[in-house]
Amino acid sequence: MGTDVQSFAVANLRRRPVFVEAGGFVAGIEPGTTSPYINYATPLPGARPTARDVKELIEAFRVRGLKPRLEFAPDAAPAVEPALREAGFGVEATHAYLVCTPERLAVPRGTAAAPVAIPVAIPVAVPATDEDYRAIDAALSEAFTSEFAASEEGAARLRRVQEDGGAVRFVRAPDGGCAGGATCSAPAVGTAELAGVGTRPAFRGRGIAAAVTAALAETMFARGARSVWLEYSGEGSRRVYERVGFRPRGTRLYMSLES
């Protein structure tokens, strides 16, 4: 599965408004932001980069005023980590990823909602208006303790996911805003990445994360994906994903070069 996940990462970065091929790597660039969590690179499966290849990659970031950063499945390109370390890159994190296939998907039926009124049969919505996208962006910013600020650019990126073959799903809060949501990329090489699952603190523990995760996976399977994968941030979220059919399959490595 590591090769599938890595092949997907390459294909997904090539969808960016700007992408750069450099020394066996693909870097995806989003004009308008310098965030290293949006602008990053990944190696081609099986890549065996030389020192010159890595230098070329670094220059592709530096010339754009960006931090050199990569995300990849190390088992699909085992020669990459040593080459990056030799050039001074350090490890930011190692994240396990989970995979769901159509036969494993279990769509949840919801949980009781007290004291906040979310219906037992949790309705998962498709955003339809600019206000929906703004509400989802704001909710995810709050869910991730403002690791990123809510913005018009963030809302626009969510809309592009939906319009470019991916999917955005959310649960509407009683006040008409967003209680929680998530996104999934358009499928590539038979798989799709589900990401950004977040629930506002006031609505946690009510099945929202499971509902949007299952709805997104179901949507991708209906479009022909053979699998959907995601990374998790802690044991609590892992249990949520496993309840809807996701299972551990490998790890992804995050590496960057400081100035």
Q: What is the pLDDT of residues 169-217, one digit of tens each?
A: 999 999 999 999 999 999 999 999 999 999 999 999 999 999 999 999 9
Using CA atoms, how far residue 247 sits from 74, 105, 213, 226, 240, in Å, is 19, 10, 14, 14, 11
Question: At which residue do the structure tokens 């799709």 appear?
Answer: 192
Indicate if the pLDDT at residue 2 is higher than 80: no
Greater pLDDT, 45 or 121? 45
Q: Name the residue among 6, 215, 180 with its Cα closest to residue 100.
A: 215
- Would you state the pLDDT for residue 188? 94
Query: Is the predicted pLDDT of residue 109 greater than 70, yes or no?
Result: no
Residue 219 is predicted with a pLDDT of 96
Element housing 130 (H / E): helix 130-143
Whether the predicted pLDDT of 117 surpasses 50 = no
Cα three-residue angle 82-83-84, rounded to 5 degrees: 90
Mention the CATH class of domain 2-96. Answer: alpha beta
Residue range 125-140: mean pLDDT, rounded: 97
From CA 126, how far away is CA 133, in angstroms rounded? 10
Is residue 139 classed exposed, middle or buried when 0-12, 13-18 and 19+ CB atoms within 10 A define those classes? buried
Beta bridge mates, 182: 169
Q: How far is CA 44 from CA 2, 15, 24, 25, 251, in A?
A: 12, 15, 6, 6, 16
Angle between helices 235-243 and 208-222 (to 10 degrees): 50
For strands 18-22 and 25-29, give the pairing.
antiparallel
107-243 folds as Aminopeptidase (3.40.630)
User: pLDDT tens for residues 54-69?
Assistant: 999 999 999 999 999 9
pLDDT given for residue 3 in this prediction: 87
pLDDT digits (tens, 9 = 90+) for 66-82: 999 999 999 999 999 99
Assess whether the region 2-96 and the region 107-243 belong to the same CATH fold. yes
Q: What DSSP string runs through 182-199?
A: EEEPPPBTTEEEEEEEEE
As given in the structure block, the two tokens for residue 21 are 């091929």
- Residue ranges per structural domain of the chain: 2-96, 107-243
The answer, yes or no, to whether residue 113 has pLDDT greater than 60, is no
φ, ψ for residue 192, nearest 5 deg:
-145, 150
